[in-house]
Amino acid sequence: MRKSKNVIYIKNAQQIEGIRRSGRLASRALDLVAERLKPGVTTEYLDKLVHDYITANGGIPATLGYKGSRGTIPFPASSCISINEVVVHGIPGPRVIKDGDLVSVDVTAILDGYYGDTARTFLVGQAPEVARRLTEATEESLRLAIAVVKNGTRLGDIGDAIQTHVESKGFSVVRYFVGHGVGLKFHEEPAVPHHGKKGTGMRLKSGMVFTIEPMINEGVYDVKVLSDGWTAVTADGKLSAQFEHTMAVTADGADVLTLSD
Ligand code: MF3
Ligand code: CO
Ligand code: CO
């Protein structure tokens, strides 16, 4: 039996404004992280900033207590903080951030029942040149992908935009995790792969809301998940970066909903 959870929700204007408000809250939490991120701070300190900022503004951190679909422990924090070879879903804790670290922070806020999901990668102090190139290529790939989104765009056009760009720089696209519909729930249909071929896949429709969140690796695209059930690392131990936005499809473009102002 086909389950109703496979439907793609088309959001109305009021719902999109609700998602924009939660997305703005998540983005402002990342602004706060950016201000406080420096060598010597712990990831749990940054996580507490995110937690307190979201709750003080009437929101709920969506990751806190979130039960994944892969039969793991509930996620124990208000943000995912993924350092260097950690691809995604790093669990904040006593780890101290060092000069030269590549730090990806992913925040999802719930406000009035709407979900906004966004992530950025930050470089701390004097990061290696390859970390800079990787981070720049990842951010640029998200920008290029957003630029192809509009009513009628095919899913493969998004993956192609990301893959073509980062592979031209010698980097690789993680396959194991994908973008996703979002807004009324944390993870909705459709799955949004970050690799693909132009002119293939489903056509986007106005009112669809989803994330694009490329995870780009310095070396091989394979990942492995550690025994905590969450932390995903690169199979070769090399660096990984990620940027994520939540957006709504419109007749002539993408309306990015995870901006700070
Ligand atoms: N925010 C992540 C995403 O982009 C999901 C994190 S789930 C968690 O989809 F449990 F690891 F926090
Ligand atoms: Co997401
Ligand atoms: Co996210």
**165/28 Cα distance (integer angstroms):** 28
**Tokens matching residue 87:** 């691809």
- What is the distance in A from the centroid of ligand 1 to the CA of 13? 25
**56/261 Cα distance (integer angstroms):** 18
At residue 209, the pLDDT reads 99
- What is the distance in A from the centroid of ligand 1 to the CA of 76? 11
The protein residue whose alpha carbon is closest to atom 8 in ligand 1 is 63
The protein residue whose alpha carbon is closest to atom 11 in ligand 1 is 89
The model's pTM is: 0.97
**82/176 Cα distance (integer angstroms):** 16
Look-up of token digits 């944390």: 186
Closest-lying ligand 1 atom to the alpha carbon of residue 180: 9
Dihedral pair phi/psi, residue 95, rounded to 5°: -60, 135
At residue 144, the pLDDT reads 99
Look-up of token digits 């309306």: 255
**133/166 Cα distance (integer angstroms):** 10
Look-up of token digits 């990301």: 162
The protein residue whose alpha carbon is closest to atom 7 in ligand 1 is 63
Residue by residue, pLDDT tens for the chain (261 residues) are: 545 568 999 999 999 999 999 999 999 999 999 999 999 999 999 999 999 999 999 999 999 999 987 778 999 999 999 999 999 999 999 999 999 999 999 999 999 999 999 999 999 999 999 999 999 999 999 999 999 999 999 999 999 999 999 999 999 999 999 999 999 999 999 999 999 999 999 999 999 999 999 999 999 999 999 999 999 999 999 999 999 999 999 999 999 999 999
Residues with CB under 6 A from ligand 1: 63, 66, 68, 75, 80, 89, 106, 108, 117, 211, 213, 230, 244
Which residues are close to ligand 2, an ion, with C-beta < 5 A? Answer: 117, 211, 213
Ligand nearest to the CA of 209: 2
Alpha-carbon distances, residue 149 vs 16, 183, 240 (angstroms) = 16, 17, 25
**Tokens matching residue 227:** 């025994």
| Segment holding 151, helix H or strand E | none
- What is the distance in A from the centroid of ligand 3 to the CA of 107? 6
